Structure 1
């Protein structure tokens, strides 16, 4: 029996690493925190818009916004934790330079300046919140996203996460600059020691795929003994948006040797079921269909439903970790 199987069969809660950024990562963390206290969030650091972008440019630091959101999602479920979460998420509304700055972004920036260590600063905010888990950057180097986007049959290169996110067209490829940036050592260690790694949901090309583009982190994702779960997005409102099938194919194209064990998808977000199942199978995974949206027609995940889907996915492999026999379905 593998070391991972021994840990889970011994009755310990699984060690889970969730990778992503923004609202998508916050959704997966809100679900996973209901299942385990051994939870680590690894967060993208390529944001260049809003409060994060302004602080990044002015102070030459990592963009703190997605890190703040992940910490807020893990806050202790008490008056103390919820109050400090609300403080972190509060944005000023003024006609001066503080307008739209989030308090949490400023707090994180201050701790980084005082301590000179991004990981230590995030750990201190986690202690303040009583966070149920740990939040780490995927790299301690501020990164930029560069994408080739097909517009009217021609490829156009777009630089910057905020611009990539709003540029219409089909994304053909994404890259990170500087290329070859070092991964956060603690993030690599967390992936190496995980029982499960969860990728997605979220902005696919700016929050999910960047994790397989940092060489050391990508190597850890490929070699870890952990099972790998990909959580696909809910169906967007825009009829021209890329489908979940295209997203899963994009993951395979950017990380062709990455084995996946289970793909979680909401039935209402699936357009090409047979093709999606075939794509999942080609990556080594079983497709698991579960309703994980809030049910009001908006593209928002329900924490309890998503937690249920993760429970089913994880328990489907409970006795078969290390054997290659997935039972999720």
Structure 2
């Protein structure tokens, strides 16, 4: 991606400086979103992370249950991924990520979770609180929640005993069996207005990688955000996982695309990035991608050590290839 890609103008009609790059919105949660953000930092300085708010486990789950706030954990991880690459930024990133070990109530709480919630209580504004943490870190971008209220994930899970309803992100992610339809509670949650505005004004939107049912698909189930994704003039890029994990055990890459289409039939993609090591049937995946309006881009985006993690520089190169391909044409 390069600054010359974007034809958008900043308020007042001035074209943004070339070095800033295109406006990119990355949607997801947890480690998958962190991988996208770390790669995108090599591509552009105009990054907005839109983060899931359905976590109900660990430190986030405890704070959510005790205080009725949005779960801060995935938001904290996104902020840490965008921290300034200086001693100041890295130090505050490590502070944010630090977890206490004790025999008391602080055990396993992340410092960043407590800091974010404290700012929310002091300021009375979720987005403003996240912006303050971003300034503390010197964050190279902005972090926003996808919805204005905490969400609960509900899924139909089928095993040898039949189909049952499983509730809660942590329970869905670890439930034995095959996950079918996923829903949110409340069923019609208000989207974050800032997240909707970011998607509508973006040049590119990146979805995935990450836990498919609990980090990727939930963005498509918030009506305001889904509508923004369907009407935005931005080009949408989907990043496939490198291998099936927990909640998608036994699913190949083609099935991941089927699930995405089933949950949001109106979604149109422009590119699907995958690694040959994680795409078993290239023809099947290419056909699914083309049915959604996208071309399949196969690049080596995994780490060299063979672990199923995306390499930041390789993924950044794949993003560059995608944008350069659209600039140059077929």
Q: TM-score range by the shorter chain?
A: over 0.9
Assess if the C-alpha contact under 8 Å between 1:91 and 1:100 holds in 2. yes
Counterpart for residue 48 of structure 2: 40
Which residue is 2:31 aligned to? 23
Residue 246 of structure 1 deviates from its aligned partner by 1.1
Equivalent positions of 1:233-244 (< 5 A) are 233-236=241-244, 240-244=249-253
- Partner deviation per Cα, 1:145-192 (whole Å, 9 max, x = no partner): 000112127222100000000012221110000011100000000000
On the 8 A contact 2:272/2:295 being kept in 1, the answer is yes
8 Å CA contact retained: 2:208, 2:239: yes
1:54 equivalent in alignment to 2:24 = no
Q: Does 1:249 align with 2:258?
A: yes
Q: Secondary structure at the match of 1:277?
A: helix
Give the one of 292, 301, 308 matched to 1:283.
292
Structure 2 contact 211–245 (Cα < 8 Å) conserved: no
Task: State which of 307, 310, 319 in structure 1 corresponds to 2:316.
Answer: 307
Structure 1, unpaired ranges of 5+: 321-326
Distance 1:93 1:318 in 2: 51
Aligned-pair distance for 1:5? 5.2
Secondary structure at the counterpart of residue 316 of structure 1: helix
Gaps of at least 5 residues in structure 2 are: 10-14
The CA distance in 2 between the partners of 1:280 and 1:266, in whole Å, is 14
Distance 1:237 1:138 in 2: 24
Q: How many angstroms apart in 2 are the aligned matches of 1:152 and 1:200?
A: 30
Q: Deviations over 1:40-76 (max 9, x none)?
A: 0000000000000000000100000000000000000
What is the CA–CA distance in structure 1 between the aligned matches of 2:174 and 2:44, rounded to whole Å? Answer: 35
Matches of 1:283 and 1:104 in 2, distance apart? 39
1:192 pairs, out of 180, 200, 206, with 200
Matches within 5 A, 1:155-304: 155-236=163-244, 240-304=249-313
Which deviations, in whole Å up to 9, do the C-alpha atoms of 1:245-276 show, x marking residues without a partner?
11111110111011100000011001121111
Q: Secondary structure at the match of 1:155?
A: strand
Aligned to 1:324: none
Match in the other structure for 1:111: 119
**What residue number does 1:79 align with?**
87
Give the deviation of 1:88 after TM superposition. Answer: 0.2
Measured on the aligned residues, the alpha-carbon RMSD in Å equals 1.7
TM-score by length of 2: 0.93
The alpha carbon displacement at 1:78 in A equals 0.2
CA displacement at 1:237 relative to structure 2: 6.7
1:98 and 2:106 aligned: yes
Count, aligned residues: 318
Inter-partner Cα distance in structure 2 for 1:104 and 1:6: 37
CA distance in 2, matches of 1:237, 1:186: 31
Cα distance between partner residues in 2 of 1:5 and 1:118: 30
Contact conserved, 1:170 with 1:242, CA < 8 A, in 2?
no
The question of whether the paired residues in 2 share the 8 Å contact of 1:5 and 1:318 is answered with: no
> Which residue of 2 is the match for residue 149 of structure 1?
157
> 2:146 — aligned with what?
138
Structure 2 CA distance for partners of 1:55 and 1:237, relative to 1, 3 Å: closer
Q: Which runs of 4+ in 1 moved over 3 A?
A: 7-12, 236-241
- Equivalent pair of 1:245/1:275 in contact (CA under 8 Å): yes
